[in-house]
Amino acid sequence: MKQGVLVISHGSREAEWVRLVDEAVREAASAPALAGVPVVSAFLEIVEGRLIQDGIDELERQGVTSIYVLPLFVSSGSTHVDEIRQAFGLPKAFELEGDLGTFRVKADVRFGLPIDDDPEIAELLLASIRELSEAPEREALLLVGHGSKEPGFGERWERGMSLLAERLRAAGGFARAESARLLPDEAAEKLAAMQAAHPDEAVIVVPLFLSQGYFTNHVIPSRLAGLHYRYNGKAMLPHPAVARWIARQAADGLGNFGNFV
């Protein structure tokens, strides 16, 4: 048996977005626990020649017979993650039927989990938050993620974001922490409610996105226009904690529990 890792992220028309993902995957692949293991970065859409089927083909070309698929997505509430699972022949989580078809794959496949409320990623976010924080006991956090309107998936988004919000609140000593989804559009309403209920607290808005781009630079600021908040627009990448998360998840998925440092 020859093992390999396929790291799948969404993809973007922004070259910098793709570069940051590829850089994190390359860094993860250099971890001691993954020495000699082929690691391929692939994308759900947009990045031609680098799509999921291309990644499968490349691993099998290298003789891989067992693929650990790692979805580099923020939340298990992402409908994309479930569509990818279905295309690998795994059962759907809810009623949503994926439209990716079925991948051509000869290797055995094991499927990993997205980031959700991972503690190391929480530390990454906390480091970014602290750049904006002056007195945590008089500040609140509002985590903003993409979200979903699909039954079941929206609840998964809410659950993961709530757990992450509480983790950040407790670790940073903040007065409170809330979360809001862009889909449905609830960020402005949630921020306004927080300010009305606690007008003496400054609110730090925390974007839950893998890499900076359209949503962090344009969507969130436009949705919150006219409201007062602190925001630096920083996403998870290029922080090295993302590469460490990829390496740890891949090593665990491959069974190298004792080798990862």
Residue extents of the structural domains in the chain: 3-115+239-254, 119-223
* Torsion of Cα atoms, 244 then 247 then 250 then 252, to 10°: -70
pLDDT, average across residues 82-92: 94
Neighbours of 148 (CB within 10 A): 23
Distance from the Cα of residue 65 to its chain's centroid:
27
Task: Tell whether domain 3-115+239-254 is in CATH 3.40.50.150.
Answer: no
Right CATH number for 119-223 from 1.10.3470, 3.40.50, 3.40.190, 3.30.505? 3.40.50
For the segment 26-47, what is each residue's pLDDT rounded down to a tens digit?
Answer: 999 999 999 999 999 999 999 9
pLDDT reading at 136 higher than 60:
yes
CA angle 28, 1, 27 (to 5 degrees): 5
Identify the pLDDT of residue 199. Answer: 97
End-to-end alpha-carbon separation of the chain, Å? 24
Whether 3-115+239-254 shares its CATH topology with 119-223 is answered yes
pLDDT band, very low/low/confident/very high, at 258 (cuts 50, 70, 90): very low
- Exposure on the CB side of residue 116, measured as CA atoms within 13 A: 14
